[in-house]
Chains A and B, each alone.
Chain A
């Protein structure tokens, strides 16, 4: 859908931009020029879309990455020109490492012994993915609970953070990011529960029984990880296990009822 503009063709004096053939007939984009115009190198690979994304611009427009032309041009040339091939992969720049997420998720799958080595460096992208899949399965069951689940995750991680650090006393070094990361990853059994409960009849003891099994799995995993990842929790294992049990029972209530 092109609009007809009655503007005369514009020629940019410093070059590097294509001349506009006729108003309205253009497929090329006009790059707005800054007041000063550093010399464009001849090795910018893409002929008509020249964008300047210096390292400073890349950090300011971090989540967008370096791949979008108009936005890169809009922030203005700050540093030198970066090649499209020199850019970091998008996922790396966002800090999402899928293989690490997969390893961490697989370590929760064993209900009898959770492997805490991968969880020492915490990240929140795995929990966000698990949260979205939990919301998806609840949506398939007819319950729209996106805000509720997010709110409960936040409140329960703050609760567990306060309880753990108070119990551990001087030696407690759990931080909120690690706490949320562990709680988020240990939501995996609850996600599986919500997937399974799509096929289980609504009012029955079977539903509560299956929920109980998955809640105990999640509690075991969460307690083992908490005690392994942060100091000071070893002698209060039972007390922390009870707190985790309460948190995952709350989430299973959303699934069961």
Chain B
């Protein structure tokens, strides 16, 4: 009997350690990442419309909450168009890399090392934007917004960048007009989402500080997008 319980203890310990290894680190830093991938075709299409043309959205911008187990939790993206997801940012980043590769190739400067460098700079840009969001939320006093939410919102700018690079490939000199337009759209999208969702986590409400901060984050879209979409230096 002692041997059986020892064997059981050993197997449960092994299972525990294996599960621990995979899930501990993830759950410590991030909220459940699976929530952000509950998407379908319909959500992706409509969300892209909202991100790229935010002024056409006549609906509200708040996220739908539902009581789950006594606490309020947000609906998954499949039920709520305003919820952030991670599928669109990841795919937008990969599309940006592919389009950057095409643009480099068309101007004759394509090497795999250049594309790898684009990957690294894109990741650094994404990371710096997440840090900016995190610092601005922290400075307002509310630190409870999950990190993956901010990663998702920062990643939505890559959709605008894809449109800009596409414009550069196809239309040539109208690229500058297109990039101004997409910066404006991304800024509006940012302001509207941050106003409703992230700042609702903040405890103290300080109106003027809020608005300045929103304006600053929207304005930082401009240099970021210029830097990252300036592919070959021309």
A interface list, Cβ under 8 A from B: 145, 148, 152, 159, 163, 166-167, 169, 235-236, 238-239, 242-243, 246, 249-250, 253-254, 256-257
Evaluate whether A254 and B37 lie within 8 angstroms (CB atoms) in the complex, with A242-B91, A246-B91 already known: no
Minimum distance in angstroms from A195 CB to a CB of chain B = 20
Residues of B with C-beta under 8 A to A243? 91, 94
B7 interface residue (CB < 8 Å to A): no
Residues of A with C-beta under 8 A to B41? 238-239
Q: Which of A152, A167, A169 has the most CB of B within 10 A?
A: A167
Residue of B nearest to A246 (CB): B94
State the majority secondary structure of interface residues on A. helix
B interface list, Cβ under 8 A from A: 33-34, 36-41, 44, 86-87, 90-91, 94-95, 97-98, 101-102, 104-105, 110, 112, 115
Residues of B with C-beta under 8 A to A145? 112
Minimum distance in angstroms from A137 CB to a CB of chain B = 16
Q: Are A166 and B34 in contact (CB under 8 A)?
A: yes
Q: Are B38 and A257 in contact (CB under 8 A)?
A: no
Q: Are B101 and A253 in contact (CB under 8 A)?
A: yes
Q: Are A250 and B105 in contact (CB under 8 A)?
A: no
Q: Are B98 and A249 in contact (CB under 8 A)?
A: yes
Q: Are A169 and B110 in contact (CB under 8 A)?
A: no
Evaluate whether A250 and B98 lie within 8 angstroms (CB atoms) in the complex, with A166-B33, A166-B34 already known: yes
Q: Are A239 and B94 in contact (CB under 8 A)?
A: no
Q: Are A166 and B94 in contact (CB under 8 A)?
A: no
Ranked nearest first, the 10 interchain pairs of A and B with the lowest CB-CB distance are A257-B105, A166-B37, A257-B110, A148-B112, A253-B101, A246-B94, A249-B98, A238-B41, A167-B37, A246-B98
Evaluate whether A253 and B39 lie within 8 angstroms (CB atoms) in the complex, with A166-B33, A167-B87 already known: no
CA distance A239 to B34 in the complex (A): 15
Minimum distance in angstroms from A114 CB to a CB of chain B = 22
Residues of B with C-beta under 8 A to A166? 33-34, 36-37, 86-87
Minimum distance in angstroms from A200 CB to a CB of chain B = 15
CA distance A152 to B37 in the complex (A): 24
Residues of A with C-beta under 8 A to B112? 145, 148, 152, 254
Minimum distance in angstroms from A221 CB to a CB of chain B = 19
Evaluate whether A239 and B44 lie within 8 angstroms (CB atoms) in the complex, with A167-B37, A250-B101 already known: yes
CA distance A250 to B91 in the complex (A): 13
5 contacts between A and B (CB under 8 A): A163-B37, A169-B37, A243-B91, A250-B101, A257-B105
State the majority secondary structure of interface residues on B. helix
Residues of A with C-beta under 8 A to B101? 250, 253, 257
Minimum distance in angstroms from B87 CB to a CB of chain A = 7
Minimum distance in angstroms from A204 CB to a CB of chain B = 12
Q: Are B38 and A169 in contact (CB under 8 A)?
A: yes
Residues of B with C-beta under 8 A to A250? 97-98, 101
Minimum distance in angstroms from A171 CB to a CB of chain B = 12
Residues of B with C-beta under 8 A to A236? 40
Minimum distance in angstroms from B171 CB to a CB of chain A = 17
Residues of A with C-beta under 8 A to B102? 253
CA distance A243 to B88 in the complex (A): 11
Residues of B with C-beta under 8 A to A167? 37, 39, 87
Q: Are A235 and B94 in contact (CB under 8 A)?
A: no
Q: Are A159 and B94 in contact (CB under 8 A)?
A: yes
Minimum distance in angstroms from B201 CB to a CB of chain A = 25
Residue of A nearest to B37 (CB): A166
CA distance A257 to B86 in the complex (A): 31
CA distance A208 to B41 in the complex (A): 28
Residue of A nearest to B91 (CB): A242
Minimum distance in angstroms from A257 CB to a CB of chain B = 3
CA distance A253 to B104 in the complex (A): 10
Minimum distance in angstroms from A237 CB to a CB of chain B = 9
Q: Are B34 and A246 in contact (CB under 8 A)?
A: no
Residues of A with C-beta under 8 A to B91? 242-243, 246
